[in-house]
Amino acid sequence: MTDTVYDMVVLGAGSGGYAAALRGAQLGLRVALIEADKVGGTCLHRGCVPTKALLHAAETADAVRGARALGVDAELRGVDMAALNAYKDSIVTRMYKGLQGLVASRGIDLIAGRGRLAASDAVEVDGRAVRGRNIVLATGSYSKTLGQRIDERVLTSEGALRLERVPASAVVLGGGVIGVEFASAWASLGARVTIVEALPRLVPGEDEAVSKQLERAFRKRRIAVRTNTMFESVERHDGGVTVHTQDGKTHDAEVMLIAVGRGPVTADLGYEQAGVAMDRGFVTTDGFGRTSVPGVWAVGDIVPGVQLAHRGFAQGIVVAEKIAGLDPAPVDDALVPKVTFCEPEIASVGLTEARARQVHGADAVTTAEFNVAGNAKSQILGTQGFVKLVSLKDGPIVGFHAIGARMGEQVGEGQLIVNWEADADDVAALVHAHPTQNETLGEAAMALAGKPLHNHG
């Protein structure tokens, strides 16, 4: 194998890496895929997929609690975490086996071992060189720990997914996507949860109106929210932890989850030594994944920007197509759809209202909202929230923002609207099926076009 010179050597088999490998092989490239752990990376094994399985179980628990209000005689007698974990793990295992088979069927050489960039055309794996005309760096990210020791009391998301019990209480440090998803799941499964967030609002990357709605919904669910609050220290004791914040307050809980973001896995991998330009541990690239070193590319969470599996997946495809001589469009982070799978769900794509006013000028932007209280399906589901469209006056819609039950399923149309630069009249003319959550998007577009039907006013 050391005599082989591949067209593409991919270091890391997470979402970005395996997408690059699969697309490259599909285009006739000779591909090697190097992975120290398992194909699928963090997303499949320790992130997106198992977390959403946990959240679905939490949603089911909430449905059982509310069943009697619907005339269904059901009672939630408890949560069997062993069975829940078995369900979660079975999904991961099926997806993993399917992905392994897919990689094998494409003729990709899967090389097990820890790789290190040795030169612009070589990755060293356990003492042997794997050579390629192009090297794709896709080593992913890790959970930040704030310098804290991680154990059974102080957890990251990986440890939280391995818990064999539902904690009676939890302090969640961080009100971003990971933090609110775990807070939501644990609260639904019976835990008492407090979120501590240093910034002024939860999910700070979302539109401010969405953040406010989420905070209202969480407080209604008795999830305590402490924004503008800085973490200071944590004490472990037999009963759990005591979390100290810089406002002088303490918060007692069984566990503390650190959910303050993820850092790039780039240290001690030879990147800087090979001349790859870096920025605070991230690999800098152009819009097509090219690094400062010719023939070396980078995708996914090690590239500055939104850390989402589907963004890395899309970047992997772009890089493979560029290497194969095609002319793909670059991945624009502003046009990548985002979904936060808490209850209520959050979905967005494009510019927030605040960002749109910064980019285009305050007087050039207009918005419209549709409150889901006027939607029959939302009433059936018992959800609250809204759809908000951000548009240029007499121009295209540049942002879609939604919060409410199953709103993640609406982000597809939101992405098409924003990416294809539709205006309010374009969307208002479309027929949205009744009764669905999808109608809320149509109603928001009708309001934006100046012809609201179910909106008041």
Nearest residue to 11 via CA among 100, 106, 113, 102? 113
Q: What share of the chain is helix, strand, coil (3-state, %, to 5)?
A: 35, 25, 40
Candidates 244, 310, 432, 434; catalytic one: 434
Residue 220 near residue 243 (C-beta atoms within 8 A): no
Question: Contacts from 156-160 at CB under 8 Å and sequence distance 24+?
Answer: 156/257, 156/258, 156/259, 157/46, 157/47, 157/51, 157/182, 157/257, 157/259, 158/46, 160/255, 160/257
Phi, then psi, of 8 in degrees rounded to 5: -150, 125
Residue 433, classed as helix, strand or coil, is: coil
Task: For residues 230 and 217, give the distance between their C-alpha atoms in angstroms, rounded to a whole number.
Answer: 23
Residue 370, classed as helix, strand or coil, is: strand
Is 360 an annotated catalytic residue?
A: no
Helices 15-26, 81-105: crossing angle, 10 deg rounding: 30
Burial 256-268 (b: 16+ CB within 10 A, else e): bbbbbebbbbbee
Give the CA dihedral 134, 283, 102, 322, nearest 10 degrees. -50
Element (H, E) at 194: strand 192-196
Known catalytic residues?
Answer: 434
